Structure 1
Amino acid sequence: MTLLQILPIIVLWVMVAIRLLGLCFGWRPGILPAVFLVALGATLNIDPVYLAVDRLLGGWNLLNLMVHLLMGLGMTELSRLLLRVTGRSNHVKVLISVGIVLALAQIVLLVVSDTEGSAASFTDTFGDIPTVALYQASFFAWFGIITGYTGVETLRRNRRGESRPFRIGFDILCAGCMAGVLAAGTKMIQIGLEIGGGDRYNNGLITGYHVLLALMTVGFAVGFILPSYERIRQTFRARTDCERDLAALRPIMGRLVQTPEGRRSMGAANIVLDARASKAQLYRWFIFIGDIRVLDPGLLSPQEIRVIDEIGRRIEHNSPSAQRPAVPRR
C-alpha cells in the first residue's frame, strides 16, 4: 500500500510548495497551514515512516492519535476555508465544536486501550478491542461527516462570477469530498468486520479504502492547485504588463522631468526614474504625467497621449474593483 500512500502525498506537498511560492507574491497564507497539517499527517501515516517514528515514541501507537489529530484539524480548517469562500459556512461552528469533542474522546479512548506494539495497520491489529473500534469509528465518522457536508455545500454554491479555473477546481473538490465519504464508509465497514471477527473481505476493503483516500487527496490537491496556478499566471502576466508599461512611459518621463512643470511636480510625486518595476511606481508615473497634462497639455504629442490613454485603460481594467467577482449570496 506504500505506493498508494505516497503518490497523493507528493501531490499534497506540491500544493504546499505552490502556496509557499504564492507568499512571495503577497498571497495570504490561506489554506497553507491546513494543507501542511494534512500533508504532514499523511506523511507520518506512510507505513515505514509510521513504524519508525512510533517506535521512537515508545511503541504505543501514540503516533496514530497524532495523525488523527493532524488530519482532523487540517481537514476541518480546509472545510471551514472552503465553505467561507463559497459563502456556505452556515453550520461550520457546529462542526468545529463537534470535532473538538471527538478529538478529546479520541485521546481518552486511546489512553484506556491496550495498543502496545507499533502497528501500521492499526485497525487490523487492534480493531477487535471495543475501545479501539470506537476510537477508529469516531474518527472516520467525523471524517465522513466533514467531507460530505463540505462536498454538498460546495456543490450548492452560487457560481456567479466564478472564473473557469475556480469553477473547475471547486467541482473537482466536490468530487474529492465524495470520494472521502466513500473512503470513510469503507473504513467503517472494515471496523465493523474486525469487531465481528471476520476478515474475509479485509484485503479488498483495505485496497478500496486506500484507492478512495488517494482519489480524495488528489481531488483536494488538484481542486486547490487549479485556482492557485491561475493566480500565479495572472501575477506573472501583471508583472510583465507592468514592466512593459513602465518601459513605454520611461522616454516620456525622461523628457517631462526636464521641463519646468515636471521639475515642480517631481519632488511632490516622489518620482524615481531608475526604480525597480512595480505597480506603485507605475501609478506614480501615471499620476505625474496626468498632472503634467493638466498643467500644460501641449507638452505631450498625440502619439504619447495614445500610449498614456492605453496604459490608463489597462490600469483601470486590472484594478481590484474591476476584477472583484460577485459575492455569493447565502
Structure 2
Amino acid sequence: MIQVVAAVLIWLLVICLLPGIRVRRDHSVLTAAITISVALTLNIDQVYLSLDPALGGRNFVDPLANVSMVVGIYFLSRAIIRAARPDEAIEKRDRAGMILLAVVIVGLAASFSAIVAQGSSTRFMVDYGDQWSAALYSSIQFGYIGYVVSVTGITCFRFRGDMLRPYFRTAFTCTGVGCSFAVLLVLLVLVMDILHLQGRLDAMRSVSPIYDAAVVAAMAFLCVGLAIPPLARRVLRHRDSVTEEELVSGLTKIWEKTTKKRQDVRLVRDTEMIRRLDRAQKLHRMLVEVQDALLVEPSLGSSLDIHELNVLNAAENYLAGPFVRQVPVRRRKREQAI
C-alpha cells in the first residue's frame, strides 16, 4: 500500500510539471520525477509480479527500480541545487557527481549478483536481507540517497531566504523538510538492515511502521515543494493575463485620444498591426506612445479625466512591477529550473 501511495504522489507531481514543458528551459525536475515515478511503480507488487517473470523470474526488476531511483534522485538534486545556488560554476562541477553515480550503479549491480535468491519476491529485502550481499546492496542505494538528499536539504534551508518570490521560499522549505524525512528514512533502512543481519526480526518489524510513515512524509513534502513553483506560476500567469486584458481595454481609449493628435509618436503607424501584438507587448507599446505624446505635447494631459489618469498610472506600475526591477536575470533563470 505504501508503494502505491508513494507512486501516486510522484505521478501527481509529473502531471503538475507537464503543462509547463514548453516554456521551461530546464527539464531536470521533470526528468527526475518521471524516473522516480517509474522506480516506485516498479515496486508495486502487481507491477513487479507481472514484469519479473518476463525477465526470467530472477528479481531483475528490483535493481532496475533501484537504479532508476538513484538516477532520479541525482537529477532532482542537481536541479534544486542549480536553482538555489547563485554560483554559475556549480553547473560545471558535475563530473564528480556523475562518477559517484556510476560507481553506485556498478556497486548495486555487483552486490545484487552476489545475492542468492529463488524466484520473484515482492519482499526482496525481507526475504533475503539476512545475507551480507543483500545488506550491502541496500546500504549502497540508501547510503547514496542519504548523502544526496542531505546535501540537497542543507542547500534548500541555506538559500531559501535568498528567494525573492514568497512561493519559492515556501517551496524550498517544503523540499528541505522532505529531504529531512528522507534522511530519517535512510537511517531507518540502515538500522533495519543491521537488525536483519543480527536476526532480530521482531525489532526490525517494530521499526517498519516508522519507516512507512517516513516514506509518505518524505514523498508528500518533496512533491508539494516541487509542485508549488509550476502551480504558482500558472496562477500568476492567469492573474497577469486578466490584469493585462483590463489594462489594455482601459489604455486603448487613452492611446487613441492622445496619439490621434500626435501621429508622429506612434512607433507603428498601422493600427491593425498593433492589434496583432500579444497583450503584454500591446500594453507596453501603447503606454510608451501615450507617454511620448504627453511629453511632446503636455497640454494633452488636461484632456484626461481622473479615471484615465488612474488607468495610466496602473499600467505604469504594472509594467514596472517589483520583480522586473528586483530579480536579476540570473536568478530568474534559476528559479525557472523548478
Q: TM-score normalized by structure 1? A: 0.84
Conserved? CA contact 1:19–1:32, under 8 Å = yes
Judged with a 3 Å threshold, the aligned counterparts in structure 2 of structure 1 residues 257 and 116 are, in CA distance, closer, same or farther, namely farther
Conserved? CA contact 1:95–1:146, under 8 Å = no
Deviations 1:266-290 (A, max 9, x none): 34898433x3743122222223334
What residue ranges of structure 2 are gaps of 5+ in the alignment? 332-338
Conserved? CA contact 1:317–1:323, under 8 Å = no
The 3-state SS of whatever aligns with 1:120 is: coil
Instruction: Give the Å deviation of 1:255.
Output: 5.0
Instruction: Give the Å deviation of 1:101.
Output: 0.7
Within-5 A mapping of 1:1-330: 2=1, 4-23=2-21, 26-28=23-25, 29-87=27-85, 94-157=96-159, 159-255=161-257, 261=263, 265-267=267-269, 271-273=273-275, 275=276, 277-299=278-300, 301-303=303-305, 304-317=308-321, 320-324=324-328
Select between 8-17 and 132-141 the one with higher mean Cα deviation: 8-17
Instruction: Give the Å deviation of 1:294.
Output: 4.4
Conserved? CA contact 1:175–1:219, under 8 Å = yes
Instruction: Give the Å deviation of 1:96.
Output: 4.1
Judged with a 3 Å threshold, the aligned counterparts in structure 2 of structure 1 residues 306 and 262 are, in CA distance, closer, same or farther, namely farther
Judged with a 3 Å threshold, the aligned counterparts in structure 2 of structure 1 residues 264 and 145 are, in CA distance, closer, same or farther, namely closer
Conserved? CA contact 1:160–1:326, under 8 Å = no
Select between 290-299 and 57-66 the one with higher mean Cα deviation: 290-299
Instruction: Give the Å deviation of 1:248.
Output: 1.0
The 3-state SS of whatever aligns with 1:137 is: helix
Judged with a 3 Å threshold, the aligned counterparts in structure 2 of structure 1 residues 297 and 261 are, in CA distance, closer, same or farther, namely farther
Conserved? CA contact 2:163–2:169, under 8 Å = no
The 3-state SS of whatever aligns with 1:266 is: coil
1:165 counterpart letter in structure 2:
Y
Instruction: Give the Å deviation of 1:264.
Output: 6.4
Runs of 4+ in 1 over 6 A off after TM superposition: 88-92
Instruction: Give the Å deviation of 1:163.
Output: 3.4
The whole-number CA distance in structure 1 between the counterparts of 2:86 and 2:261 is 57
Conserved? CA contact 2:167–2:229, under 8 Å = yes
Identity between Structure 1 and Structure 2 (%)? 21
The whole-number CA distance in structure 2 between the counterparts of 1:259 and 1:115 is 87
Instruction: Give the Å deviation of 1:30.
Output: 4.8
> Whose relative contact order is higher, 1 or 2, with alpha carbons under 8 Å and at least 6 apart?
2
Q: TM-score normalized by structure 2? A: 0.83
The whole-number CA distance in structure 2 between the counterparts of 1:297 and 1:116 is 89
Aligned-residue RMSD, C-alpha:
3.0
The whole-number CA distance in structure 2 between the counterparts of 1:116 and 1:251 is 79
Deviations 1:3-50 (A, max 9, x none): x222233222222222122336x2333521112211221122112222
The whole-number CA distance in structure 2 between the counterparts of 1:268 and 1:227 is 39
What residue ranges of structure 1 are gaps of 5+ in the alignment? none
Instruction: Give the Å deviation of 1:72.
Output: 0.6
The whole-number CA distance in structure 1 between the counterparts of 2:325 and 2:28 is 21
Select between 282-291 and 296-305 the one with higher mean Cα deviation: 296-305
> May I ask how many residue pairs the two structures share in their alignment?
323
The whole-number CA distance in structure 1 between the counterparts of 2:21 and 2:310 is 36
